[in-house]
């Protein structure tokens, strides 16, 4: 996953940040490390306002990520489970696919 941040620092793309994503980062990365990472990336972050979504069915968290990514005009979502995004019109890439320069 750190390939995303490295390539962002190299000005290859921006990161959409929502409160939903921030909560997920805090669950997986120590809060002080998350804050330090976001400080490094602050010029490369585009914020997307979270809204209330009445989401039904499975994979509610990933559904919310997809909705927010579409709202923020994201080109793709970096995920470990592409199957959770099959019903959305957004490209998904695995973290290891970011090593390739031809993901678009």
Tokens of 33: 């490390």
Tokens 């039904």 locate to: 56
Greater confidence (82 vs 44) lies with 82
7 CB-near residues (< 8 Å, 6+ apart): 13, 98
Residue range of the domain that includes 61: 2-99
Whether residue 43 is contained in a domain is answered as yes
Q: With cut-offs at 50, 70 and 90, classify the pLDDT of residue 98.
A: confident
Q: Are 3 and 100 in contact (CB under 8 A)?
A: no
Whether residue 67 is contained in a domain is answered as yes
In the predicted structure, residue 102 carries a pLDDT above the cut 80: no
What is the count of structural domains for the chain?
1
Whether residue 51 is contained in a domain is answered as yes
Closest CA to 67 of 46, 85, 40: 85
Tokens of 34: 């998350």
Q: How much is the pTM?
A: 0.72
Whether residue 61 is contained in a domain is answered as yes
Whether residue 24 is contained in a domain is answered as yes
Give the integer Cα–Cα distance in Å for 76 and 81.
13
Whether residue 104 is contained in a domain is answered as no
Give the integer Cα–Cα distance in Å for 1 and 75.
17
Whether residue 34 is contained in a domain is answered as yes
Q: Are 95 and 3 in contact (CB under 8 A)?
A: yes
């Amino acid at each position: 996953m750190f390939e995303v941040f490295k390539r962002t620092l190299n000005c290859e793309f921006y990161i959409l940040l929502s409160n939903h994503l921030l909560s997920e980062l805090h669950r997986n990365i120590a809060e002080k490390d998350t804050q330090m990472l976001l400080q490094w990336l602050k010029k490369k972050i585009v914020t997307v306002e979270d809204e209330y979504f009445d989401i039904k069915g499975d994979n509610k968290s990933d559904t919310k990520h997809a909705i927010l990514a579409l709202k923020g005009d994201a080109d793709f979502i970096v995920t470990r489970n592409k199957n959770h995004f099959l019903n959305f019109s957004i490209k998904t890439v695995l973290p290891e696919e970011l090593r390739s320069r031809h993901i678009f």
